[in-house]
Structure 1
Amino acid sequence: MRSAFAASLMSVVASVALATAPGLNPVAHAQTVNSGETIRTVIVEGNQRIEDRTIQSYLLVEPGDPFDPDRIDLSLKTLFATGLFADASFEKSGSDLIVRVVENPIINRVIFEGNDAIDDEKMREEIEVAPRGIFTAARVQSDVQRILELYRQSGRFAASVEPQYKPLEQNRVDLVFVINEGPVTGVRSINFIGNGAYSDGRLRSEIVTRQSRWWRFFSSNDNYDPGRLEYDRELLRQFYQNNGYYDFRVVSAVADLTPDQEDFYITYTVDEGDQYYYGDVKVETELDKLNASALRRALSIQEGNLFRGNQIENAIDTLTYAAGVAGYAFVDITPQLDPDPETNRINVTFAIDEGPRVYVERVDIVGNTATLDRVIRRELRVSEGDAFNRVLLDRSRNRVRALGYFKNVEITESPGSRPDRTVVEVSVEEQPTGELSFAAGYSSVDAFLFDVSVSQRNLRGRGQTVIARVSASQRQQYVDLRFREPRFLDRNLAAGIDIFSTRSDFSDVAFGGFETDTIGAGVNLGFPLSEHTNLGLRYRLQSDKLDLADVPIVINDADGTLAFQTVVDDNGTPDDPSDDTEVQVPVSPNADPLPDGTAVVDICDAEYINRSRGCRNERAEISSIIGYSFNWDRRNDPIEPTGGFDMSLSQDFAGVGGDVQFLRTEVSAATYKGIFKGVRASARISGGLIEPIGDDDGIRINNRFFRGGSSFRGFDVAGLGPRLIERTVDAEGNTVRVRRLNALGGKAYYQGTLEVTVPNFLPDEYGIDTALFVEAGSVGMLDDIDIDPARIISPEGSETTTVRLTKDAMGLRASAGLSVGWDSPFGPIRFDFSQILRQEEYDRTETFRFSTSTRF
């Protein structure tokens, strides 16, 4: 069938060329000639674009040569091999050799018709024909197959492609690929034969191919792709070997088309074999600087544990790294596996020899269409001329991924120009790093929200970060301008500058309902101390103004104590005093002087002798703060770690000038563990302490620690910790009501978080992650000057007594719940469902929280 297509296409080419070259008649390709004569001249006819001399240069005969039929036949084959001619022939005319040619047309345009599933640009990347190229039958036929393969990969096996042409003047054609895409061929079911240890459902979760279901409209993994079957076979092998089945093999993988020819049935036949455990594990080496016993202790493989194939690879990496530390950059580690079917044990011996010396000949970086090469190269731990080290290559990949500029990063190696040379290729896939966003919405945290931000994390491909953000919500208005250069002065030194202005309103969550206005600027520097540690230095100068909410009260002019202003509530019956009640009401500070000699002032007025000690926070101050941050990162992956840990320590000292003096310290540490595929666990502990320096004025409320909301799920913003409360008791001393007033913040906090990601059985394309969490900790430890003495505030003659007091118990709080995150097109969204496990009676809790933020 293919030969018939090629023949018809060849005739098309010839007819096109002949139609544009009138008067040229096809002749026999070779005529019988007298080999005793010599060629006087070579005459070329029929050529339009190609010069005579060019055509004559392809011939194996020239004037003066004899008329040799064999050499003329070879010349004919040479002309066809150039791909420039649709037809050619030789004719003897006296002593002249006439060469008649029909040139292949030139492609004017390449047009695709009928394609919706695959765009034109993607197909142009795959095919060879292009405008101003030569139109040949073989090339067009090859491109038809490439287009069909693209459609097969997208699950359209019924697709067909018909090449057509439109002749133009000057021996040109428009090439048109007419495409009938056909329906998508899905996967109706995936079945397994021979599996006993694991169910079909579990095995389906381990492979990439998915059964076609209506909810997988964002995914293409439920389209049948024969190339994906081989990959799935390898995934099944890895899964079984990582669970002890050393002898596992996939006997066959068969795809059968359904009777309606719309889907495929995929059937895997497997042979699980027996489950094996580790037997003796040894390390053998003749290298002087390597101690076999010490190397054995460095391995995580233990005798009697379940055999896992991936542990063998991890052990090789561990031994390679240990040998490198000992000075052996080139080692050859061969794992020798000796399975014993009778005991179901596998004895493992790692033989370490000094391997051939291999050096990095060249480092190629591909795929970086926006990011400069040097931005990527400076993150690599290997360069040209270095000894080849796979551990350093893995570390380089993690460092490049941590930049956040790329969707995918792969590092591969290939043989170099010599046996002791290798070429390292770093392949990256760019992702957007700039953002211009306008957002408006509503959240349970900030009520109404309006957010405008412009950011670029990779300015001009140089790795520089620029952020301009304006944010406004019911609780906070924020303006921030930042610039960060990761290689300041072309050194391994990051430098940045930050200018900010913030206005915050915590009138409904903190003491007295305070508002703060902050304006300032800061500079920062950061540099690595080692491969896994770095140090950041910073300085910030800011002006803070704190205002407590104005609460007008009435005080007795005689002794400065609170005088209750009451009114008669007639309840709509002014003639009936029996239902009148006395209530306390707010008094306007603009009220006329009262006839009884009392005065209307603010609750923090100096004339009010019983004013709260918290009123001392109401002032404006300049803060000059210098600080540092130390980070230690040993995670195995910067994005989704499944092993390792990270730690951080930061301290800020306020008092290098300015009005504020304190030392604030915060520490945090986390460890990560991959349990099995799709399930990761992390445990984090953190704590902080802030202490005044130089006087007993204490720590102002705006510099204290507050926890809750996103920082402690299950509790409202500033929902746990020291708080003013009003306790009402009856005549018998029974608590009638506890009224939660305002949070005071704390000088110290501690917190622990355990989180486990769990599979939600939704396609990855949805971008939905779920996790179970447990939070535990507390915040508190106020200064004595911040704690008001308990005082009775109930009116005289009341049947109950109301006492206002400060609660500062630093008891343990705890919560647990489910967190659902969605990486939506509008930005990351999180839903937290919480259950309180432990709390104080005055804490403010919540069982549901919705929050969203804008990416930068």
Structure 2
Amino acid sequence: MLSVAWLVPAPEAWAQEYVFNTVEIDGNQRVGDSAILARAGIRRGQPVSGGQLNDAYQNLQNSGLFESVSIEPRGGTLRIQVVELPTLNRISFEGNRRIKDEALRALIDSDERRVFNPSQAEQDAVAISEAYSNEGRLSARVQPRIIKRDQNRVDLVFEIFEGDNIEIERLSFVGNRKYSDSRLRRVLGTKQAGLFRRLVRRDTFVEGRVDIDKQMLRDFYLSRGYVDMRVTGVNAQLTKERDGYFVAYNIQEGQQFRFGNVTLVSQMPGVNADAYRDIVKVRPGVVYSPSLVETDIARLERQAIRDGVDFMRVEPRITRNERNLTLDVEYVISRGERIFVERIDIEGNTTTLDRVVRRQFDSVEGDPFNPREIRQSAERIRALGYFETAEVNARQGSSPEQVIVDVDVVEQPTGSLNFGGSYSNNDGVGVAVSFAEQNFLGRGQKLSLAVSTASEATRYGLTFVEPALLGRKVSFGLKLDYAETNSSFASYDGERLILQPSLGFPVSENGRLQLRYTAEQSELIARDSGTEVGNVIQDDIDAGEQLSSALGYQYTYDTRVTGLDPTAGVLFQFGQDFAGLGGDSKYVKTTAKVIGEKKIFNEDVTLRATLEGGGLSWNSGNNRVTDRFVLNPSIMRGFEPGGIGPRDLSNGADDPLGGNLFVVAKFEAQFPLGLPEEYGISGGVFYDVGNLWDLSDVNLAGGDVVGESGSFRHVIGFSVFWDTPVGPLQFNVSDALRKEEFDKEQRFEVTLQTQF
């Protein structure tokens, strides 16, 4: 059957109008009549339609001031009846242990002494639940409840059930062939639940961390030449007991690419590419990394600024060679847009001075605008550690040829008070208290005070650093250090006071030079009469207080972080101190160190080689044991502090004398032990060979000295490294393959440092 219905429009109805000469308002106590009328939008004596009456009702109902509203027209009188929402008297939290009340109050928008809004309380409960979810407690529940008080007041109580952590029971990867699961797990910020799961906060599943971890994986592969690497998906599944997650990352690694042909061309009139060709450091055959390309571009643009070439831009053009798995890079020099920096606006820095932020920019007002430099400046601002967030954006200025750089920051605490403990065979049990401020008085200066006490050593120190002296890339440091020692490895006590101001500045991309002045006052102190002291040491004690005044320098070259190869790096240090600018001594002291590191077997094994040495050339004054080199286990393992080198056996003593010359070579490998990596336990083997000798310019009269000519000692050993939640713990077990009969061997060593 087919039926058709015809719809005929009804005649338009005339809207009814009201005119109210009287408005009666009941039920209001806090909100005045005039305020209610103003919110309702009704005036006495003016025509009001039915739609306007409905709008008045909605306005009052949505004002957040009333629990209920009724509007009733009675002839020429409009009656408004309201029930006011209560005043929020007090906000409290119950059941919370993981998150403190102060942190929860910062999450909610409900305020005491204001009108209670039920919908706002529900939103606050959701915000608290999300905070617990970010802590990995996905089962947390929050229930807002009210307790009625007199005078139309209520207390708001958030009843919190925190629940248990939803831990990550297993982090795994699918599709990874080049790197093992254990290596990739070390890349992620999220960690797998392990032995100390109650102390580790990063082993809980937080959905917001997934994107960050994916980017960290992507950056890891890109820096190693895997330009096609993709994270195709992340699967997170709850365990049957619903108390943990199995998280799996699906990966497509792709092929590793290396740099092919690296060329430089200029499309900018007046700029010859040949003049900049030597600045490009990347060479064919090196594993491709975007950061190396960015570094080359930044280097080229900085050189252009030095040459007075404005608006020069460098664009990399990448060409893939699938057959030989290389990427040809062509740096194209071109002229950028003629845009200038009009000004730099900084907001949000209530403590940090503007100049601290401004000196992170190489550009100032009126300089050509370089987007790459602005991005690098933003990274430098974030790296300061002064701000919780830092956003740097550019917008058009007063004309199309000018831009304004906006810097919006949110400050965070930069001071810390640390209590620490340590234990070692050499110094015993120690307690350390330190105060550090990374942004002193908002000037970007660093100030630290430290007190450390151990059973055989006490130390007090003050350090101050101005990172940009007079607004330039020159750091000024001041170190004041006082130490007392009563080591069981020596027959005397010692006191030492050091004052050391210094200047440091970069001399190359990876090189830095420090110039310093060192004033040192030291004294050797005899113990009670029952302690036997050798004649050589007795001469040092009889010399009393000695003052040395020295000018020195130290050059450091470090590619372990910024080098071309992310799996290898070199540290080189060379320094000298020239004493004789006043004081009681005149000498030249030289030290040098070279460290080479390389990660092999898919970066699961770290190889490290260290060569370290020093020489002391004495001219005048008392050449004492505290001035000479004394080898500690941190320099050469397998022996006590001062356990190798010349010794004085006179008067029944056995005193280490140190030496004017030393050299130590160390070879070590660190590797996994096959234990779950979340335990943080790894192993290592090492081989140390070293020598300490020469007592030239030392008064040996009356002494029974052995070992002056020196000999090379050889030590092999095994290490266990344990990254515990309370600090790094290291065990060394060693055996001396070659030593002298008078050496003091130390077969077992354990060190632990922590802050709490």
Scaled by the length of structure 1, the TM-score of the pair is 0.69
Residue aligning to 2:5: none
Unaligned runs of 5+ in 1: 1-31, 553-601, 605-611, 727-738, 791-803
Q: Which residue of the other structure, out of 333, 344, 363, is the alignment partner of 1:361?
A: 344
Check the 8 A contact 1:635/1:645 in 2, yes or no: yes
Check the 8 A contact 1:691/1:699 in 2, yes or no: no
Check the 8 A contact 1:361/1:416 in 2, yes or no: no
AA partner of residue 53 (structure 2): I
> Matched residues in 2 for 1:785 and 1:342: separation?
69
Matches within 5 A, 1:753-768: 753=666
AA partner of residue 177 (structure 1): F
Q: Which residue of the other structure, out of 657, 674, 694, is the alignment partner of 1:781?
A: 694
Q: CA deviation at 1:298?
A: 3.9
Q: Which residue of the other structure, out of 96, 100, 117, is the alignment partner of 1:115?
A: 96
> Matched residues in 2 for 1:201 and 1:854: separation?
26
Check the 8 A contact 2:176/2:251 in 1, yes or no: yes
Residue aligning to 1:716: 640
> Matched residues in 2 for 1:487 and 1:305: separation?
34
Q: Is the partner of 1:656 in helix, strand or coil? A: strand
- 2:634 matches 1:653: no
Q: CA deviation at 1:178?
A: 2.8
Residue aligning to 1:421: 404
Check the 8 A contact 1:625/1:652 in 2, yes or no: no
Q: Is the partner of 1:91 in helix, strand or coil? A: strand
**Residue deviations 1:156-211, cap 9 Å, x none?**
33333333222223332222333333443334444544445455555444434444
Q: CA deviation at 1:773?
A: 5.4
Q: Is the partner of 1:146 in helix, strand or coil? A: helix
Q: Structure 1 residues 423, 846: closer, same or farther in 2, change over 3 A? A: same
Q: Structure 1 residues 435, 113: closer, same or farther in 2, change over 3 A? A: closer
Q: Structure 1 residues 526, 198: closer, same or farther in 2, change over 3 A? A: closer
Matches within 5 A, 1:425-444: 425=408, 429-430=412-413, 433-435=416-418, 443-444=424-425
> Matched residues in 2 for 1:525 and 1:241: separation?
42
Residue aligning to 2:502: 526
Check the 8 A contact 2:66/2:82 in 1, yes or no: yes
Q: Structure 1 residues 819, 47: closer, same or farther in 2, change over 3 A? A: farther
Matches within 5 A, 1:727-806: 741-753=654-666, 775-783=688-696, 786=699, 806=706
Q: Is the partner of 1:126 in helix, strand or coil? A: coil
> Matched residues in 2 for 1:205 and 1:618: separation?
52
AA partner of residue 629 (structure 1): G
Q: Tell me whether 490-499 or 336-345 shows the greater mean CA deviation.
A: 490-499
Q: Which has the higher contact order (CA 8 A, sep 6+)?
A: 2
- 2:722 matches 1:809: no
Residue aligning to 2:74: 93
> Matched residues in 1 for 2:593 and 2:290: separation?
31
Q: Is the partner of 1:433 in helix, strand or coil? A: strand
Residue aligning to 1:178: 159
Q: Is the partner of 2:47 in helix, strand or coil? A: coil
AA partner of residue 433 (structure 1): S
- 2:86 matches 1:105: yes
Q: Which residue of the other structure, out of 66, 72, 83, is the alignment partner of 2:64?
A: 83
Check the 8 A contact 1:218/1:766 in 2, yes or no: no
> Matched residues in 2 for 1:265 and 1:703: separation?
59
Q: Tell me whether 495-504 or 170-179 shows the greater mean CA deviation.
A: 495-504
> Matched residues in 2 for 1:260 and 1:505: separation?
56
**Residue deviations 1:678-727, cap 9 Å, x none?**
87776655443333435xx762344322213333222221122223579x
> Matched residues in 2 for 1:279 and 1:254: separation?
37
Matches within 5 A, 1:394-473: 394=379, 400=384, 411-415=390-394, 418=397, 420-425=403-408, 429-430=412-413, 433-435=416-418, 443-446=424-427, 465=447, 467=449, 469=451, 471=453, 473=455
Q: CA deviation at 1:625?
A: 1.9
> Matched residues in 2 for 1:279 and 1:197: separation?
22
Matches within 5 A, 1:694-705: 694=620, 699-705=623-629
Q: Which residue of the other structure, out of 728, 731, 750, is the alignment partner of 1:850?
A: 750
Q: Structure 1 residues 827, 344: closer, same or farther in 2, change over 3 A? A: closer
Q: CA deviation at 1:339?
A: 3.1
> Matched residues in 1 for 2:38 and 2:182: separation?
67
Residue aligning to 2:10: none
Q: Which residue of the other structure, out of 260, 267, 270, is the alignment partner of 1:279?
A: 260
Q: CA deviation at 1:48?
A: 2.0
Q: CA deviation at 1:319?
A: 4.2
Check the 8 A contact 1:775/1:816 in 2, yes or no: yes
Q: Structure 1 residues 364, 775: closer, same or farther in 2, change over 3 A? A: farther
Q: Structure 1 residues 98, 496: closer, same or farther in 2, change over 3 A? A: same
Q: Which residue of the other structure, out of 542, 545, 551, is the alignment partner of 1:628?
A: 551
Q: Structure 1 residues 650, 828: closer, same or farther in 2, change over 3 A? A: farther
Check the 8 A contact 2:195/2:679 in 1, yes or no: no
Q: CA deviation at 1:144?
A: 2.9
Check the 8 A contact 1:317/1:391 in 2, yes or no: no
Q: Is the partner of 1:112 in helix, strand or coil? A: strand
Aligned residues: 718
AA partner of residue 525 (structure 1): P
Q: CA deviation at 1:653?
A: 1.8
- 2:588 matches 1:688: no
Question: What value does the CA root-mean-square deviation take over the aligned residues?
Answer: 4.9
- 2:118 matches 1:218: no
Check the 8 A contact 2:193/2:678 in 1, yes or no: no
Q: Is the partner of 1:420 in helix, strand or coil? A: strand
> Matched residues in 1 for 2:388 and 2:25: separation?
55
Unaligned runs of 5+ in 2: 1-13
Q: CA deviation at 1:101?
A: 3.2
**Residue deviations 1:594-618, cap 9 Å, x none?**
xxxxxxxx998xxxxxxx7776545
Q: Is the partner of 1:715 in helix, strand or coil? A: coil
Residue aligning to 2:589: 665
Q: Structure 1 residues 840, 291: closer, same or farther in 2, change over 3 A? A: farther
Residue aligning to 2:6: none
Residue aligning to 2:119: 138
> Matched residues in 2 for 1:493 and 1:200: separation?
42
- 2:535 matches 1:535: no
> Matched residues in 1 for 2:41 and 2:699: separation?
104
AA partner of residue 542 (structure 2): R
Q: Tell me whether 160-169 or 180-189 shows the greater mean CA deviation.
A: 180-189
Q: Which residue of the other structure, out of 40, 43, 47, is the alignment partner of 1:66?
A: 47
Q: Tell me whether 180-189 or 677-686 shows the greater mean CA deviation.
A: 677-686
> Matched residues in 2 for 1:522 and 1:269: separation?
56
> Matched residues in 2 for 1:80 and 1:384: separation?
54
Identity of aligned residues (%): 25
Q: CA deviation at 1:670?
A: 4.8
Residue aligning to 1:573: none
Scaled by the length of structure 2, the TM-score of the pair is 0.77
Q: Structure 1 residues 316, 480: closer, same or farther in 2, change over 3 A? A: same
Q: Structure 1 residues 364, 683: closer, same or farther in 2, change over 3 A? A: farther
> Matched residues in 1 for 2:414 and 2:623: separation?
45
Q: Structure 1 residues 827, 650: closer, same or farther in 2, change over 3 A? A: farther
Q: Structure 1 residues 190, 626: closer, same or farther in 2, change over 3 A? A: closer
> Matched residues in 2 for 1:290 and 1:836: separation?
63
Matches within 5 A, 1:559-574: none
Q: Is the partner of 1:90 in helix, strand or coil? A: strand
Q: Structure 1 residues 741, 140: closer, same or farther in 2, change over 3 A? A: closer
